[in-house]
A and B are shown apart, each in its own frame.
Chain A
Amino acid sequence: MLSRKTLGTLALMAGLSAMVVAPDAMAFRMIQNNTVGFVSAGAQVPCNDAGGFTHWTIRQIIWRINTANNPGGVPGALDHALNQWNGVSGSDYDLSRGSSNSTGGFGTDGTNTILWANGNGCTGNCLALTGLTLTAGQVIVEADVTFNSNENWTTSNVNFDIRSVATHEIGHSLGIHHSDRNPLFARPTMRAGYRDGARTIENDDRDALRCSVNTFPINCTDPCPTGGVYDGANCYMWSVPGNDAFVYNGNFYYKPVWHPLGPCPNVVWDMVNNTSIQPWFDGANCYIGSAGGGPNPFFYDGNYYISASAGANPCPFGGTYDGANCYMYTWPGVDPFIFDENMYYKPLWHPNGPCPHPVVNNWLQISIMPTFDSANCLVQAGPGGNQTPFIWSNNYYLTPVCNP
């Protein structure tokens, strides 16, 4: 968490940059929390504390931006912050910004979200706040950062600089507490800062991340914990069924399959023009024809009629007079409906249903039948967390949580 209390030390630091100040070895601190029930913050502990500290058990961590209330320049600023920590030698962390935005908030929802809000417990003197979700063993499973949207945020290296604050908060997300090192220059980002040098991490920050990596190394015995087969780079899940497969919100779909003759295969007889017509698909339904402005269109035995008119010509809007009404169109063979005086029927799926194609995992020799969600065929819900699904070369993959 940052408050504005330590604002402004950096101009002087820049002026004194020629000085040499002996570094405070191991001044960085890690976040420790072993308590159950009575919790709020975390203790500042050194790397070798017997009680351990908070840490991830994965290395590929994806951040997503909730764009509501965002100031300008957030994606670039987040990329900057993530790259600061990615660049630490001796660390195998791989932090990235997800290609899709987050709709999540400040809470445990499976997505590491960065957002701007006037609330979330970060108001007044609070500039930004990181929340960690831990499971047993002080394992971080999610992190979220909320920025105070009431402040003036910039990317121009003046107060308050998003890059500087994001770099600091991402450090918290990695289990790093505020540093005890408080030098005149090369001030660790985990000492807090809002501009200038705080945009870049310093050796003290790097030491903190290496402490985490070395204390809790990843023994990658299961790069694909949510399923799939590790192919040396990613988790191979399913072969794509060849019907416009796509990934949406992390879930794997393919588009539903129409009747072999198209979505509107059933012809009807147009009694107005005394000809057969092929209904056309308007993107949602099969349009047959209109009532021509005639009164009271209705169905009887699936056929489409309008009421007859008084006078010499009982069907001035067309159709065949059957002694009582004007017969407009024949029954299309499926349930028709009237909308805005027009006659439609619903498109026809493949004889085996809208999702007729099984999806096969050739490696595991299994197949599944997708489920129709009323719009598309859901093959598999996304794994959530930090694995990103993608389709490549007609196959569906997830990124692994680690690489052996």
Chain B
Amino acid sequence: MAVAVALGLALPAGALTLKVADLDNLVAGNSVIVVATVQDGYAYWNRDGGLLLTDYRVAVTEVLKGQVEGQLTFTMMGGSDGKFTTLIPGGATLLPDGSYVLFLRQETLPGTEPVMTVAEHTQGVFDITDNGGVLWATSQAKDEHLVRGEDLSEEEGSEVPTIDVVGGAEGMALEELVSSIKALVAKGTGTQGVK
């Protein structure tokens, strides 16, 4: 960013729009959105015996989209049986007792019937932390390839527009994220195009 400003380059216009559009895409593309805390996980080999999957059971504290009551179980690629580990670099990370905002939908993973999963990987998981007494939500995609200030060309004629990660690298108040999601759901976003 500093380099870009020093060069006198224009800052990207409409960043908020881009952020909202990105969240809109997440809301539209996922059938279940919850605030939840991980209770436990169970790793197992898939039907073909070639890939370790992990079923996560979470306690849902708030349902933002979809119909969920109490507990929810979903599946993610990756896991360990103590001898072998299947690892998805750049995939989402869920830890025991960790609290997250989760964007979920049905997908067919290798060697499974359609299962509920975090199909957007890190973009579909927001870490919830205590930020000076305020619950804070930070996208796990911030550690991947977050578009920062120098990525100005994204607004300068790229064929496919790209957007910043929701909440940026610093994250955002959980309350703000939740209310934004609720507003999109109330508006009807996601009733179409759920994958």
Interface on A for B, CB 8 Å cutoff?
Answer: 1-13, 16, 19, 21, 31, 33, 35-44, 54, 105-109, 119-121, 123-126, 129-136, 158-159, 172, 177-178, 182-184, 191-192
Contact = CB atoms under 8 A, between A and B. Distances in A.
Interface of B: 3-4, 7, 25, 29, 41, 43, 46, 48-52, 54, 76-80, 82-96, 107-111, 117, 119-123, 141, 143-148, 150-154, 156-163, 165, 195
A120 B154 contact: no
A123 B156 contact: no
Contacts of A133: 84-87
23 contacts: A4-B160, A4-B162, A6-B154, A8-B158, A8-B160, A9-B150, A19-B3, A31-B89, A36-B85, A37-B80, A38-B54, A40-B76, A40-B93, A41-B88, A41-B90, A44-B143, A107-B46, A107-B48, A108-B86, A121-B107, A124-B195, A158-B159, A183-B150
B150 A131 contact: no
Closest 10 CB pairs of A and B: A107-B50, A8-B158, A12-B153, A1-B90, A40-B78, A41-B91, A192-B145, A107-B51, A134-B85, A132-B87
A3 B150 CA distance: 18
- B76, B78, B83, B163 — most chain A CB neighbours (10 Å): B78
B148 A37 contact: no
A33 B85 contact: yes
A34 B82 CA distance: 11
A22 to B, nearest CB: 10
A1 B91 contact: yes
Contacts of A172: 89-90
Contacts of A120: 109-110
Given A107-B51, A177-B90, A192-B144, A38 B95 contact: yes
Contacts of A37: 41, 43, 79-80, 82
A136 B119 contact: no
Given A41-B88, A108-B86, A131 B109 contact: no
Contacts of A7: 154, 158-160, 162
- A36, A38, A172 — most chain B CB neighbours (10 Å): A38
Contact of B88 (A43, A44, A119, A121): A121
A40 B123 contact: no
A169 B195 CA distance: 25
B79 to A, nearest CB: 5
A109 to B, nearest CB: 5
A1 B147 contact: no
A2 B88 CA distance: 12
A39 B78 contact: yes
Contacts of A106: 50-51, 110
Contacts of B154: 6-9
B163 A5 contact: yes
A10 B29 contact: no
Contacts of B159: 7-8, 158-159
Contacts of B29: 124
A226 to B, nearest CB: 19
Given A41-B88, A159-B160, 16 more contacts: A4-B160, A19-B7, A21-B3, A35-B80, A40-B93, A41-B90, A105-B110, A119-B107, A120-B110, A121-B110, A129-B88, A130-B88, A133-B87, A134-B85, A136-B83, A177-B90
